[in-house]
Chains A and B, each alone.
Chain A
Amino acid sequence: MSGNWIEVCAVEDIDEEDVMRFDHQGRTFAVYRSPDDEFFATDGLCTHEHVHLADGLVMDEIIECPKHNGRFNYKTGQAKGAPVCVNLSTYPVKVEDGAVFISI
């Protein structure tokens, strides 16, 4: 962990229980806002077939891949069963002055 905080967006750019794609230096991430208004970040691509998770559906603490409905807990990165079996990496997130930052 570099501890290098990168600004992603403004808080209001992501709705509650939703997700946004964030690309940075050739890498892609998914940044989430939970129903209870906390922010989280994971790798942006599904571990099954390299599909952007930000096109998927957030339900409670689950992100569902838009392609094959593989499910992950975006708070922990844990894969929730077939077809996904490899967990997502997660990244620290902080909110400061109305902006969302991730550490990558």
Chain B
Amino acid sequence: MTHFVIIGAGECGARAAFALREKGFDGKITLIGSEALAPYERPPLSKATEEGAVEPKFIAEPEKYAAVGISLLTGVTVQDVDPGAKAVALSDGRTIAYDKLLFATGARARAFPGIAEDSKHIRLLRTHADAVALRKAMVPGKHIVIIGGGFVGLELAATARALGTDVTVLEGLERVLKRGVPEEVAGVICERHSLEGVDIRCGVAITAITEDDERATIQLADGDIVEANLVLVGIGATPNTELAARAGLQIDNGIAVDEFLRTSAPDVYAAGDCCSFPLAIYGGRRVRRESWRNAQEQGALVAANMMGLGEAVSAVPWFWSDQYDVTLQIAGLAEGAVQHLRRDLSDGAFILFHLDRAGRLLAASGIGRGNAVARDIRLAEMLIAARAHPDPAALVASSVKLKSLLAA
């Protein structure tokens, strides 16, 4: 019987396994995860109010895997892959053969240089176990320092405030969310954090972190010293490519795949956070995405391609972040945009449309309370996918429905 093996049981790997069955694959599927838990959703781990932060929010009920014939191995890591022999060696000593293999190995949180990952008062966030440990430390009266003003850091800042903890955010660049979020949108988030009492310090350089039994002490280049009961390091993620590199696969800011998510080795695929892929709608630019939706979409797409259906990547990058009752959503990639048009919605919500020199819509960034911007961002995403050159006057006029531009 044909055997498909999936390395990595996160959003992408789990989605791929189910998608294979949904699309009618009737061979054997083995899904291998290094964590003890069945696959669960990661977005809630950093967010205060959602279910799934304390109790894992499973992608599917654990019994569902066996029910559809997916052999789920948890707490097992893959030691080596031999693309020539088409076999993977597992940490439990077994070697299993595959007909097709998927790397859905994801990414891991980047550690602070020189700090051990299991340090007592210095933590990372990637897994459910990490989230539970952080949650325990977030109690009123404690002081948490978050290194890095990215999404994980700022979402955790909001969570910590909701749980009554004092929070300081240290960002090395001149502003938060520098990567991928326009200044105008980041400003709204910053302002909100200030209102909630979060101390955000940008442009700071950390020269040393030390810790004793009670606390961590952070020394800054300007001579300031910040003490914390807990330090959370949120300085980005690193794709898990080591196993693929050892197997001889081509690596280029992630496991390099083509538009069908095929790696440089025959019958070996990669999808999700671990891979870099060409995006046709942006002239074939090679990108790597670390987002829930990308993991999910590529999981489904790679399943189709493992079955030989030949479906190229076409999705527009999209992600969201929740902080307090504010949600940010961004569709597309704004690099190369020269025009930024603002559409104001009700209740302070707004969307920026990013257009290139020729007037083509490249990206849209929206922020507002709840899901205020969701519908228009979704429509913008469809306009981006259609490579539309929408009328700028219509984009800024909130009285003009974006849906009407789709038909144009």
Contact = CB atoms under 8 A, between A and B. Distances in A.
Contacts of B108: none
B272 to A, nearest CB: 14
Size class of B's contact patch? 20 to 34
Among A51, A66, A81: residue with most chain B CB under 10 A: A66
B378 A64 contact: yes
B375 A55 contact: yes
Given A51-B371, A52-B371, A66-B371, A57 B379 contact: yes
A: interface residue count bin: 10 to 19
B22 A56 contact: no
B296 interface: yes
Interface in B128-174: none
B372 interface: yes
A68 B51 CA distance: 15
Interface in B334-379: 370-372, 374-375, 378-379
A85 B57 CA distance: 14
Given A49-B50, A69-B293, A81 B22 contact: yes
A67 interface: yes
Contact of A67 (B18, B296, B320, B403): B320
Given A55-B371, A57-B375, A57-B378, 18 more contacts: A17-B403, A49-B50, A51-B371, A55-B370, A55-B372, A55-B374, A55-B375, A66-B375, A66-B378, A67-B320, A67-B374, A68-B292, A69-B293, A69-B378, A81-B22, A82-B15, A82-B300, A85-B60
Interface of B: 15, 18-19, 22, 50-51, 59-60, 292-293, 296, 300, 320, 370-372, 374-375, 378-379, 403
11 contacts: A17-B403, A49-B50, A49-B51, A55-B372, A55-B374, A55-B375, A57-B374, A67-B320, A69-B378, A82-B18, A82-B300
